Chain A
Amino acid sequence: MRPVMLTVILVCSALAAAQHADDAGARQSIMALEHAWDQALEAADVKALSAIFDNSLIYIDYDGRLLTKAEYLLRVKSNDTHLQQIVTEEMDVQVFGTTAIVVGRYKVKGIENGKAYLRHGRFTDTWILSGKNWICVAASTTPILR
């Protein structure tokens, strides 16, 4: 994800939020942001990710580690997990006025310590409408063990 592309998505999502006060518009905007998040991760685009997250973001990683926004962005920047591809699927968005919760599955491929890995997990992201933009305030990931 290039920053320009993300800007376009953010603008579109803002317009969608303005034009569609209904839940369907919100769902559409949030789904677009979830996909923008994936693409920004693959490109290690910290600037793009920073625009998606609220400064109060708390991220729970698949091993139970708690990361702040700064820690999460630093990890993406360092690219120590050599993430190659991330795919999200089975996403369900529930909108509660100016709050939305997304639950879905993800599949991530990469190389860590010289070894290829493929992880499957479930995530829950919480978004709030800040002005005209949706921003993520909380994200949790859990490996799917069965």
Chain B
Amino acid sequence: MCGRQHNSDFALKMRKSPTVASRLTCDMSRLVTSMRHNSGLFIFLLSASLFVAQSGNPDTDKVRIFSLENAWNEAQWQKDRGALDMLLAPDLVYVEYDGSLMGKTEYMTSILSPSLHPAKIVSESMSVHVYGAFAVVYGICRENGVKKGKPYSVRMRFTDTWIRRNETWMCVASQSTLIGG
């Protein structure tokens, strides 16, 4: 569920929804600045913005968090250190599907490892619960690729907790569990 949608009326709709546009900009502009030379992710972010414009949903936080979840997948796939750094809080706690516990630095090192080559990372069945300045996201992630020379394929349930700091959402906790053990 990468939210890649296109709409030629995007600019018009954003003008009609200045609140949505300005709030979205806080999160997205930081990422875009880092990734403007990365055309794939830039297109993705633009698409995510289009999704906001199309939704017409008053609960824009949910839409923003969906977009950021997908941006995370894209950044992981592209091994984009700058994007990951912006999406993840400095005090992130990350529990991997094998039960290992990592901080932000360890997690980013594992994701950016040259021996890891994810071919596909897809999130689906996502649900967001917003509680004021924080939100919890549940979903299923399917990932495959090559790790240390061996092919891998996993399907896991994830729970991510996001916190809004200075109008920017950042992930502070993430845990994955293999489905079916």
Contacts and interface: CB of A to CB of B under 8 A. Distances in A.
Interface stretch (B57-65, B109-117, B125-133, B142-150): B125-133
Interface in A66-117: 66, 92, 94, 96-99, 101, 103
A141 B132 CA distance: 25
Contacts of A140: 95, 157, 159, 175, 177
B100 interface: yes
Contact of B129 (A63, A97, A137): A137
A90 to B, nearest CB: 9
B99 A121 contact: yes
Contact of A63 (B138, B159, B161, B180): B180
A127 B99 CA distance: 21
A123 B100 CA distance: 11
A124 interface: yes
B175 A122 contact: yes
B interface secondary structure, majority:
strand
B137 to A, nearest CB: 9
Most chain A CB within a 10 A radius of its CB, from B100, B172, B175, B178 = B175
B21 interface: no
A123 B97 CA distance: 11
B131 A122 contact: no
Contacts of A3: none
A1 interface: no
B173 A122 contact: no
A99 B131 contact: yes
Given A94-B172, A137-B136, A58 B178 contact: no
Nearest to B181: A63
A126 interface: yes
A50 interface: no
A145 B98 contact: yes
Interface string B26-62: 0000000000000000000000000000000000000
Most chain B CB within a 10 A radius of its CB, from A58, A97, A122 = A122
Interface in A119-139: 120-124, 126, 128, 137-138
A60 interface: yes
Interface in B161-181: 161, 163, 172-173, 175-181
A143 B181 contact: yes
A98 B179 CA distance: 31
Nearest to B138: A58
A122 B101 contact: yes
A57 to B, nearest CB: 10
10 tightest Cβ-Cβ pairs between the two chains A and B: A144-B99, A64-B179, A145-B98, A140-B175, A140-B159, A64-B157, A124-B175, A142-B177, A138-B136, A64-B177
27 contacts: A58-B127, A58-B136, A60-B159, A60-B177, A61-B177, A63-B180, A64-B181, A65-B179, A97-B133, A99-B133, A99-B161, A101-B93, A101-B161, A103-B101, A103-B173, A120-B99, A124-B159, A124-B161, A126-B161, A128-B131, A128-B134, A138-B138, A140-B177, A142-B98, A142-B177, A144-B100, A146-B99
